[in-house]
C-alpha cells in the first residue's frame, strides 16, 4: 500500500468523525501527522473523485461527500491509486503469461478478489468507530478464518 493511500485513509477517518463540519487540511495534517502539502494534493484527488467536498474561506475546510458508512476503504484506495491489485497498471484479466508463469494470472485475480472481500466491506465509519466487521476481526484473531465463507470469492 502506498504512503498516499495510507495518508488518504487516515485523513478520511478523521473526516468521518468530523461529520459535516469542515475540517481544514492543517487540522487533518496535525491530527494524523501527515505532511500538509502532500495532504492537500491527496484531498484534491479525493474531491475530484467525489468522495470529499470542500469550501474555501475562514469557515472552509473539507468534509465527506457521503455518510461515512457509505464510503468503503476500497473507494478511497481506488480514488488515490486506481484499481485494486493491478499488475504494472493492468487488470489481472488482461495479462497473459506463458509457460511456467501462466498460473500467476490466476493468483493475481484471486488476490484481488480477497483484497476486495475485505476492503469493500469495511467503511470509514467502521474504521473511525473502531468497530470493524466481525469477519475482519476474525482474520486478525485467526488467520485460518480465510476458510470462512465470508471471504470466499
Closest CA to 14 of 56, 44, 52: 52
Q: What is the pLDDT of residues 74-112, one digit of tens each?
A: 999 999 988 776 666 677 777 778 888 888 888 888 888
pLDDT of residue 148: 58
Confidence of residue 50 (pLDDT cuts 50, 70, 90): very high
Confidence of residue 116 (pLDDT cuts 50, 70, 90): confident
Nearest 10 degrees: CA dihedral of 124, 69, 16, 133? -40
Residue ranges of E strands in 22-141: 52-55, 61-64
CA angle 146, 8, 78 (to 5 degrees): 60
Q: What is the pLDDT of residues 125-139, one digit of tens each?
A: 999 999 999 888 887
For 53, the 3-state DSSP assignment is strand
Closest CA to 10 of 20, 27, 21, 57: 27
**Sign of the alpha-carbon torsion through 129, 131, 133, 137:** positive
Residue 74 in contact with residue 113, Cβ under 8 Å? no
Residue 69: pLDDT above 80?
yes
Per-residue DSSP letter, 1:
-
Kindly report the pTM of this predicted structure: 0.82
pLDDT of residue 99: 86
Whole-number average pLDDT of the chain: 87
Runs of H (alpha helix) within the chain: 3-18, 25-32, 36-48, 73-81, 104-119, 124-129, 134-141
Confidence of residue 144 (pLDDT cuts 50, 70, 90): low
Distant-in-sequence, close-in-space partners of 39: CB < 8 Å, separation ≥ 6: 7, 11, 25, 28, 29
Closest CA to 45 of 86, 89, 11: 11
Amino acid at each position: 500500500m502506498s504512503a498516499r493511500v495510507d495518508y488518504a485513509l487516515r485523513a478520511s477517518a478523521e473526516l468521518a468523525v468530523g461529520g459535516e463540519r469542515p475540517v481544514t487540511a492543517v487540522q487533518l495534517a496535525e491530527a494524523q501527522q501527515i505532511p500538509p502539502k502532500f495532504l492537500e494534493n491527496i484531498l484534491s484527488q479525493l474531491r475530484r473523485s467525489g468522495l470529499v467536498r470542500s469550501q474555501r474561506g475562514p469557515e472552509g475546510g473539507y468534509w465527506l461527500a457521503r455518510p461515512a458508512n457509505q464510503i468503503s476503504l476500497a473507494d478511497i484506495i481506488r480514488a488515490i491509486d486506481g484499481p485494486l491489485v493491478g499488475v504494472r497498471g493492468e487488470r489481472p484479466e488482461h495479462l497473459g503469461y506463458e509457460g511456467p508463469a501462466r498460473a500467476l494470472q490466476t493468483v493475481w485475480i484471486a488476490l484481488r478478489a480477497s483484497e476486495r472481500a475485505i476492503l469493500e466491506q469495511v467503511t470509514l465509519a467502521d474504521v473511525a468507530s473502531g468497530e470493524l466487521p466481525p469477519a475482519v476481526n476474525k482474520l486478525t484473531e485467526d488467520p485460518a478464518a480465510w476458510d470462512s465463507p465470508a471471504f470466499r470469492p
